[in-house]
Amino acid sequence: MFLPPALARIPLPANRRYAAVRTRLRHAVSDMIDRNRTEGGAIGGDLLTALLESAPATPDSRTELVDELILMLMAGTESTATTVAWTLHELSRDPDRWLADNQHPAVRKALIPFGGGTRKCAGDTFALTESALVLASIMSRWTVEPVRRNTVRLAAYGALQPQGLYLRTVAR
């Protein structure tokens, strides 16, 4: 995904698998656009309907629309999933550290996880709301415990993922 184009074109097995999967994904998203155009939006007020209303139906805009939708899918899933995974990891180690009384007021301002300026993350509020809801749903029913200690490593994919993270859920 992040290889320079010249390297990505070398027909290695991994590159060919990636190209095939990318083509499948683009077709699936393209079909979704066709269905939305012929049948209308599934729920109304959704992102695809809003993008379609603002885009002319030309081949160039179709390519751009597919790019935009795939960007939203990628930017909006791995980032939040990784955030939730790291948070569960932290909660499994020391839940008390995260209680409101133990928070330092400067901590919030020391972090800029969504970047800044004109290219700031377009989904920041959505991501925070989604993460809080997911974590509240999980933590209200279960506590999390580490299965194996000290196996978690940073793995640099699209986001920095916790590789080797194993957690056990215990009903409250």
Q: Footprint of ligand HEM on this chain (CB under 6 A)?
A: 71-72, 75-76, 79-80, 83, 113-115, 119-123, 126-127
Cα dihedral 46, 52, 55, 60 in deg (nearest 10): 120
**Residue sitting closest to ligand HEM (CB):** 123
Cα separation, 138 vs 171, in Å, equals: 10
Least distance CB 38 / ligand HEM (angstroms): 25
Query: Are 167 and 148 in contact, with CB atoms under 8 Å apart?
Result: no
Cβ distance to ligand HEM smaller for residue 15 or 41: 41
Minimum distance between the CB of residue 29 and ligand HEM, rounded to whole angstroms?
15
Contact 10, 16 (CB under 8 A): no
Report, in Å, the least distance between residue 14 CB and ligand HEM: 26
137, 130 Cβ separation under 8 angstroms: no
3-state SS class at 148: coil
Smallest separation, CB 69 to ligand HEM (Å): 11
- Closer residue to ligand HEM (CB): 15 or 86: 86
